[in-house]
Every structure is written in C-alpha cells, then in structure tokens.
C-alpha cells in the first residue's frame, strides 16, 4: 500500500481591486489560485471554507470591488522528486526527445503512493540530473485533477516531460520530451490526432467482425474512485478502433488505435463490451471469462494468468513528426516475453483443435 500524506490547510486571501468586472466567485478563485480546479474550489465553498467580507459565500455570488475573500483549501504537501539510477531501454534519443520501451511493472510518474522508482525518476538520472526537486502534485482523488505530466514534469525546473503515459502493468513505447517547448509541440500532435499509436492486446471472447470502433464516454467510476468506467453522463469523449489479428478459442489478439487518450481507455472500453483484457486485475480480466466449461482450456488459461499477473496490453507502434526536423519517425517494439508465452500456449490449443 502507498503512503498518502495528510493534507494541509492552505489559506488564500484576496482584496478585489476597484474596476474589477463582476464574475462568479468560483470562477474568480479558480483563475486566481495556482493549480486550482473548479472542482476543488467548489468543494471548499460547499464545506464553508470560503468567506467574502467575513461571511461564507455561495459559488454563484458575484464578486464586487473592495470585497475581501478568504479561501481555505486542503492541499497535499509537495513531494521530493529524486533522480534514480534505473536502467532504461532507450529506442531513440536526440537532443530534443527520447523514445523508450517501458517494461511492465514500473509506474510512469511519481505520485503520493509511489514517489520513487518511476520512469520520470529514471529519465531525470539518465539526463544527468542529480539534485532533489520539490514538486506539487494534483489531488489524485479529484476526478478533474488527473495527473498532467505536461504541466508537472516539463517545467523549467524539471525539463524532461512525459508526452503521454502508460499504466504500470502496460508495456511498450513511450515518448519523452527534453524541454517544455518540444513537449508543447508533441502534445499538440496528440491533440490533433496526427500521432500513430498502436497497441496489441489479448482480450477475452471472440469478435464477429474483423474491425470495429468503440465510442463511449469515460469518467471516474462511481463504485471505485480509483478506477474508470463508461458513463452515460459526465464522461469525456473516448474513441477506440481495433482490428482482429488472431482468433483463439475463447480469446482474441487485437491491434488497437487510440483516437483519444483517456486514462485506462482500452481497458475500460473492452471491459464494458464484455471483452476485458486478459490478466487485467482491475477490470475483470484476471479470471476465466469464457470457456469455463472447457476443463483443458481452463487449466492452461489459469496457468497463463498466474504466470503473467498483469494485463496483456503492449504499446507496440509509435509514429510522430519530429518537432524540430519535421521528419516522420516510426518505431516498433517486440511483444514482451510473458505476452509471447501466452500466445504460444493458445496457439498450441488452436493446433490441437485442427
């Protein structure tokens, strides 16, 4: 279990100047407090921790010139970001950016539950940094404050920034910028959907069609705030395209293209469509979903699930335009050994059934 520090009360005081245009209190505070979100400000207002001229105020109250505002927000203390000598599988590197092949089992960036041993710690050391840096992290429990590495890990103090991230137990290619300007240009490519990012996944079940597209909004799960789910209301647009590569008796190997980049998007979309990723502990793929009455298959599938102990999801291909040279760069990585072993076991079953 990670260690989550006690939050500390941070007090912000404002005196509204003459000539201030009237606007909603929550909007003013969100724009005036660094790293604040409207959700966090709203929470403080709801808890009676925001005062205007000595009286608790509603979010909709319009601020006026000479108003005196006191806002008390509970924030987690900063954490120490420490460069660590952790080996990196560097696929490509120049003075502007890096492409690495991330193994499963390592977290992309630090958080309160995992301040050390992450890709960011390793990249800092790789780039020659040795000093500890104090950084403020967003509130991981706030649905609108999911970590944005572009803001946190590409500051002038830190330099390298993750342009995108992979879940702890997802392996594959990751793109890392070496300065904020490059980060901004690469992030824009992701936003413009000009980046080619393909995943290979082994998922439960079979598919009628060889190609498909899933369009379902994703947001925080109401049942478990650490997980995500398809939502009818309040979610963010998420689009996943896929192609069937190989069919097995109760499982399918698919190639996936993400049209959007929501947290846990692949895992959530396929779980929602009753095809959870094989081995996915969080989204129902870590037990027999199909083939429960086939004793021989169950025996092999359980053996594979125990051996991998993670979701079979790999970021295999990555293509983008170099932000300085303008050259199109394309990279590919081999499937990890554990993924290959599972596929070989399933191929044996296919051969036996011929």
User: How much of the chain is in helix, strand and coil states, percent to nearest 5?
Assistant: 20, 30, 50
Domain limit, last residue, from 191, 208, 238: 191
Predicted confidence at residue 265, as pLDDT, reads: 96
pLDDT at 239: 95
- Which residues span the domain enclosing 279? 196-352
Helix/strand/coil for 310: coil
Residues 57 and 121 in one domain: no
Are 83 and 60 contained in the same domain?
A: no
C-alpha dihedral sign at 242, 247, 249, 251: negative
For the record, the structure tokens of 30 come out as: 């969100």
Q: Is residue 2 part of a domain?
A: no
Instruction: Look at residue 130 and tell me if it is in a domain.
Output: yes
Q: How many Å apart are CA 292 and CA 114, to the nearest integer? A: 37
* Residue 3 is assigned to a structural domain of this protein: no
For residue 129, the model assigns a pLDDT of: 83
Please give the positions annotated as active site: 167
Can you give the pLDDT at residue 137? 58
Q: Are residues 337 and 279 in the same domain?
A: yes
pLDDT of residue 39: 79
131 and 239 both lie in a single domain: no
Answer yes or no: do 208 and 332 share one domain.
yes
In this prediction, the residues of the chain whose per-residue pLDDT falls under 50 are 1-4, 140-157
Identify the CATH number of the domain in which residue 58 sits: 3.10.290.10
- What stretch of H or E contains 244? strand 239-247
Residues 67 and 83 in one domain: no
Whether 1 is in a domain gets the answer no
17 and 164 together in one domain: no
Same domain, 237 and 345: yes
- Number of domains composing the chain: 3
- Within this chain, do residues 160 and 254 fall inside the same structural domain, yes or no? no
Burial of 69 (0-12, 13-18, 19+ CB in 10 A): buried
Residue 158 lies in a domain: yes
Report the CATH number that the domain containing residue 152 is assigned in CATH: 3.30.2350.10
pLDDT attached to residue 354: 54
Instruction: Answer yes or no: do 204 and 254 share one domain.
Output: yes
Residues 248 and 150 in one domain: no
């Amino acid at each position: 279990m990670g260690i989550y520090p006690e939050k500390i009360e941070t007090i912000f005081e404002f005196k509204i100047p003459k000539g201030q245009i009237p606007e909603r209190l929550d909007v003013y505070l969100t724009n005036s407090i660094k790293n604040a979100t409207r959700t966090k400000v709203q929470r403080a207002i709801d808890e009676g921790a925001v005062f205007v001229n000595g009286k608790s105020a509603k979010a909709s109250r319009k601020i006026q010139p000479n108003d005196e505002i006191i806002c008390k927000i509970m924030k987690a203390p900063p954490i120490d970001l420490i460069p660590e000598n952790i080996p990196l599988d560097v696929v490509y590197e120049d003075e502007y950016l890096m492409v690495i092949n991330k193994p499963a089992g390592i977290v992309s960036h630090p958080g309160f539950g995992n301040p050390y041993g992450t890709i960011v710690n390793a990249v800092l050391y790789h780039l020659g940094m040795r000093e500890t840096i104090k950084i403020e992290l967003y509130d991981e429990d706030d649905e609108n404050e999911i970590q944005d590495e572009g803001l946190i890990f590409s500051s002038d103090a830190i330099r390298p920034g993750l342009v995108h991230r992979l879940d702890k137990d997802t392996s594959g290619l990751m793109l890392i910028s070496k300065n904020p300007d490059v980060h901004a240009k690469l992030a824009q490519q992701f936003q413009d959907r000009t980046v080619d990012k393909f995943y290979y996944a082994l998922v439960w079940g079979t598919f009628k069609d060889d190609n498909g597209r899933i369009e379902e909004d994703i947001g925080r799960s109401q049942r478990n705030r650490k997980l995500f789910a398809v939502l009818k209301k309040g979610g963010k647009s998420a689009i996943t395209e896929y192609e069937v590569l190989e069919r097995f008796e109760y499982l399918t190997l698919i190639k996936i293209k993400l049209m959007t980049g929501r947290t846990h998007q692949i895992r959530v979309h396929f779980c929602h469509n009753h095809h959870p990723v094989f081995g996915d502990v969080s989204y129902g793929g870590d037990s027999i979903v199909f083939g429960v009455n086939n004793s021989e298959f169950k025996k092999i599938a359980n053996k594979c699930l125990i051996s991998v102990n993670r979701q079979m999801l790999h970021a295999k291909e990555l293509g983008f335009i170099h932000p300085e040279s303008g050259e199109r760069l394309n990279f590919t990585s081999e499937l990890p050994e554990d993924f290959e072993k599972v596929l070989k076991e399933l191929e044996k079953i296919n051969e036996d059934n011929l």
